[in-house]
Structure 1
Amino acid sequence: MRNVLRIFLTTPGPAKWTAVISLIVAGFAESIGLATLLPLLTTAMGDANDPSPVSRMVREGLAMIGLPADLEILLAIVVLGVTVKAVFVMIAMRHVSYTMADVATYLRTALVRNVAAVEWRYFTHQPVGRIANALSLDANNSARAYLLATMFLATLIQSAFYVVVAFFVSPRLALVAFVTGMLLILVLQPLVRISRKAGKRQRARTEELVTLLSDTMGNIKPLKAMARQEHFAHFFDEKISLLRTAIRREALSNLAMKNIREPILVMLIAVGFLATRNSLEIGVPELLVMALILQKTVSTMGRVQQQLQTAVAVSAAYWSVRRLIEEAADQREDLSGEVAPTLRTACVFDNVSFAYGDEPVLDRVSLELPARSLTVLTGASGSGKTTIIDLLLGLHRLDSGEILIDGIPQSRIDLRAWRGMIGYVPQELTLFHDTVLANVTLGDPAMTEAEARAALEAAGAWDFVERLPKGLQTIVGERGSQLSGGQRQRIALARALIGKPTLLILDEVTSALDPETEAALATKIHSLAAEHTIVAISHNRALVEQADRIYDLSRAGARLVDAAE
């Protein structure tokens, strides 16, 4: 129960309290209507000497405002009470509905912003499917969890008002109603625990399935090429079977709650009613009202239990998203540098050392990347080429040594501004299933079609883009599958150039190209060095031949290679 109420309390925004106040007013209005039923029935039956304290309170209250306690007035109060309750419940639910949508939006926005701001190492240990599942299914279930938590609170408030009304009718009735409701809750509590565990398992199995699906879709081509998709499908069947088991357990506990609750509820109401009736000397009107209040109180407390069961089943999604947001917030990247960056002379690595955990990658490496020139890094796999790029981007912190940008230590540089000066084309480039324009601008509304065309022209891509069926508005397909390798590389290069970068970083951009396309792209890259500082990782001869400076990396360090070599 505590975790369900925490979902309500931790939800941002004032609308939830408007909902609570509306529910309290609704409960109070219904209580007035219920309390008026007793004098209404006694008046209708012609009993003018009603001894009930509730009747006396109602009659005295009406007398204070100058109204007679006749049948019409009492009936109007009952109708008004029910009407006011319905109006304020609608007001409450309106705010709850709006807040429900806000909850999903808030969680998605907070997750995206926090994940975007984390240190790079966070992504190297985080399954993409976990984040995808949190943004889609878990965020929706979180909104549902908030709705159920609010409904649970509303029913709890309603139960409290029923107990108060029962107390004024008869303290013994209130005690019987409360004890009967608590017995119902205790009897059905094991089913709530089953739902909680089943909900957690279902969320975990769904996350595993989404993660596996995300990884599979990224590698579907080699699976089909080797006829391995059937074997992999069996792996999916195993995960789906585990998910099915969790869903069955949750469904079974929900059905058990619904079907077991009703006979237990009727039995407890009957016992409570008989216990109250046999111990009190009361008239028929009071007996009818007592029966109604007892039924409403115990039934509402039963609904509290049912709503709690449904809420705990989906609450795992809410807390999972919150944990993911907090994890990302705890690993927020430090961007505390204050010096505005420039790149007029060079970037210098001065005795730089770096290790991934206990595995050293760079050991006292020194090299210089002159401004407005093309520097190419070569070397065997694992020699640290990509690590040098990552350090230059500020994605990792050095173990020792310094990186100097125009003579200023990188640790003092405003890292956000520094990255804003960089255009980057990774080795494993990915195009989105969107238009050429969206892939070049990355959806930035400030970038125009004219700027996109200029970037495509600079990358040598405009000629083929112009010939596409819809030009800039042509959909490139999943991961750019509608384009050739060379065309994808050029669009990725245009994406890096559209921001007019000072530093252009290229990681094996010609590795998957045929010799003719590679030579053309290498020539294009070299021509860009007149206006940009370019650092490229490459083993291909065409780009190495165009380089102004070449470094060969190995475990021994970085060796400056003579162009003749």
Structure 2
Amino acid sequence: MIGILRIFYGAEGTKPWLVLACLLLAGIFEGIGLASLLPLLSLAINDGAAEGSALVGYVESALAVVGLKPELGLLLALVVGAIFLKGLLTVVAMSYVGYAVAEVATGLRADLIGRLLKVRWGYFTHQPVGRIANAVSVDATRSGHAYLMAANFQVNAIQTVVYSVVAALVSWQLALAALALGGVIALSLHFLVRITKKAGRRQTERTSELVIYLSDALSNIKPLKAMARAGKFANLFDRKIRQLKRALRRQVISQYALKNLEEMLVAVVIGIGFYFAVTRWQVPVSQLLVMGILLYQAVSSVGKMQRQFQKAVLLESPYWSMRTLIEEAAAAEEPNPGRAVPSLVRGCSLESVTFAHDSEKILDAVSLEIPAGGLTVITGASGSGKTTLIDLLLGLHQPQSGRILIDGVPLGEIDLQAWRGLVGYVPQELILFHDTVLANITLGDPNLGEAEVREALEAAGAWDFVSAMPQGPHSVVGEKGAKLSGGQRQRIALARALATKPKLLILDEVTSALDPRTERDICQNIDALSRDMTVLAITHREAWTEIAERTFRLEQGVVTLVKDEGTLKRPA
């Protein structure tokens, strides 16, 4: 129960005390309406039940304070008005709850995405993308519904208090019997709540695992289909789907079992009590009706409160799963203590840089200079550490020893965001979004319009084929750019890197999967671009070393200068 209350009172962007105040006022008006019911019925059927009734005495005393008498019309207006105000306040409260549900779901999504964009690069190397996708799409929605169920739980809790108080005014024995009866029924059926909570937790876990599997499968669907192994791969999903089905089945069974068993038990007890009240105790009809209504409402409200609690615990696990993921991302936030603003006038350098993944040494006391302007190439076999060197230069990893300098200033003293803002980067495994060419280049940057996009496309040698597409730069490229050829995807990625007019352009094996002619065309584009910016290319292809001013070879963690023309091209 504590977890449910924490969701209601602790969810960010909500006003739980406003909801609680409206619900309390609604409960008070409902109590007034119920309290006026006994004298109203007594007057209507004239059975004398009002005489000697403590509840009727309280109502008459309250009316006397304002100079009114308990007449039929007044009592009827009082009952109707109280019920009307109770309904109005409940609608106001629950309308805000509807707003808060959307606020909770979207707030969790925004918080998670914001945290993820600030984490260290190493966080993503061990975090399944499917877990994040499931959290943003499924868990966030269910978390919003958890807040709704927690609010409904508050409604039923207040109603239980109201009915118990009014019942106590009629007869404290009645109130005690109602609470005892409701408590016994709730305790006897609480095992169904535990089953539901366990099933909800399993649903959250199995759904996350299923989305992780599916995300990985769709990322590799082409080779699976090419080898006719998609059907066999589906066997991996079967166990997760069976487990998810069992969890969902238990949820449904336990929810309906709780509701119907409660109603059956309450009906039996009310029926027995009504029989004895009429045949043995000769209770007046009006008083019996009011007592029956109060008893039924009090007992039922305990049952409703338990059912809302059951629904809330079912949806509790995705909320806390989201909070856990957000906290993990917050703990992995990338530090950025530097304050110096870089300019890249002189160049970059590494001084005796050593780096290792776990116990495997990747770079061993590497030192090299990358002068500003011109094209510098780093070659080496696959796995020699070329990409790791780039990651260190960008501050994505930290060296175990040595220094990385930008214009002579240690990278640790430089504002990483400002430094990366000077960089255009084309990775080896480029990814285009299932969106337009324009969106793939601007990446949501409001400072980049169609004019800047066209300029970047022309610089990358991509404008001719983009302008020939059905909708030009507004054409959708397909999933991961599937509607484009390999060379076209590389040029779009290059245009994306050039759109912000970077001072340093980093290219990581950008032509490794291209044919010689396409590679030659891209090399010509890069050669022309290197006259106006610093270009650092990671490659093992000979076409790049032919146009480079300076070439380094990286082998077994050691770097060697193999080409240096001495005179680098400078901006005209």
User: Residue 251 in 1 paired to residue 252 in 2?
Assistant: yes
User: Residue 28 in 1 paired to residue 28 in 2?
Assistant: yes
User: Residue 305 in 1 paired to residue 345 in 2?
Assistant: no
Question: 2:178, 2:280 → 1: CA distance?
Answer: 15
Assess if the C-alpha contact under 8 Å between 2:350 and 2:366 holds in 1: yes
User: Residue 365 in 1 paired to residue 366 in 2?
Assistant: yes
2:3 is matched with 3
Deviation sequence 1:443-487 (CA, Å, 0-9, x none): 223211000000001111111111111111111111111111000
Deviation sequence 1:414-450 (CA, Å, 0-9, x none): 0111111111111000111111111111122321100
Assess if the C-alpha contact under 8 Å between 2:13 and 2:104 holds in 1: no
The CA deviation at 1:354 is: 1.1
2:568 is matched with none
Q: Which moved more, 1:536-545 or 1:44-53?
A: 44-53
1:12 is matched with 12
Amino acid at match of 1:472: P
Question: 1:269, 1:13 → 2: CA distance?
Answer: 43
1:49-64 maps to which residues of 2 (within 5 A)? 50-64=51-65
Question: 1:276, 1:406 → 2: CA distance?
Answer: 94
Change beyond 3 A, Cα 1:61–1:484: same
For residue 429 of structure 2, give the secondary structure of its aligned residue in structure 1: coil
Question: 2:223, 2:187 → 1: CA distance?
Answer: 55
The CA deviation at 1:383 is: 1.4
User: Residue 42 in 1 paired to residue 49 in 2?
Assistant: no
Assess if the C-alpha contact under 8 Å between 2:432 and 2:481 holds in 1: yes
Deviation sequence 1:496-552 (CA, Å, 0-9, x none): 000111111111001111101101101211211111111111111111211111111
For residue 562 of structure 1, give the secondary structure of its aligned residue in structure 2: strand
The CA deviation at 1:176 is: 0.8
For residue 354 of structure 1, give the secondary structure of its aligned residue in structure 2: strand
Assess if the C-alpha contact under 8 Å between 1:351 and 1:400 holds in 2: yes
Assess if the C-alpha contact under 8 Å between 1:346 and 1:405 holds in 2: yes
Change beyond 3 A, Cα 1:16–1:280: farther
Change beyond 3 A, Cα 1:407–1:291: same
Assess if the C-alpha contact under 8 Å between 2:362 and 2:557 holds in 1: no
Deviation sequence 1:314-350 (CA, Å, 0-9, x none): 1111111111111101111101111111201111110
User: When the two structures are superposed, what TM-score results if normalisation uses the length of structure 2?
Assistant: 0.96
Deviation sequence 1:273-330 (CA, Å, 0-9, x none): 6788899785332222111101001001101111111111111111111111111011
2:465 is matched with 464
2:239 is matched with 238
For residue 551 of structure 2, give the secondary structure of its aligned residue in structure 1: strand
- In structure 2, the gaps of 5 or more residues are 566-572
1:145-164 maps to which residues of 2 (within 5 A)? 145-164=146-165
Q: Which moved more, 1:246-255 or 1:417-426?
A: 246-255
Question: 2:272, 2:199 → 1: CA distance?
Answer: 34
Assess if the C-alpha contact under 8 Å between 1:265 and 1:302 holds in 2: no
Task: Provide the aligned C-alpha RMSD in A.
Answer: 1.7
1:207-222 maps to which residues of 2 (within 5 A)? 207-222=208-223
Assess if the C-alpha contact under 8 Å between 2:13 and 2:107 holds in 1: no
1:331-346 maps to which residues of 2 (within 5 A)? 331-346=332-347
The CA deviation at 1:101 is: 0.8
Change beyond 3 A, Cα 1:553–1:276: farther
Change beyond 3 A, Cα 1:272–1:345: farther
1:98 is matched with 99
Assess if the C-alpha contact under 8 Å between 1:172 and 1:276 holds in 2: no
User: When the two structures are superposed, what TM-score results if normalisation uses the length of structure 1?
Assistant: 0.97
Question: 1:234, 1:192 → 2: CA distance?
Answer: 33
For residue 506 of structure 1, give the secondary structure of its aligned residue in structure 2: strand
Question: 2:201, 2:519 → 1: CA distance?
Answer: 52
Change beyond 3 A, Cα 1:355–1:552: same
Change beyond 3 A, Cα 1:49–1:350: closer
- In structure 1, the gaps of 5 or more residues are none
Alignment length, in residue pairs? 564
1:504 is matched with 505
Instruction: State the identity as a percent.
Output: 52
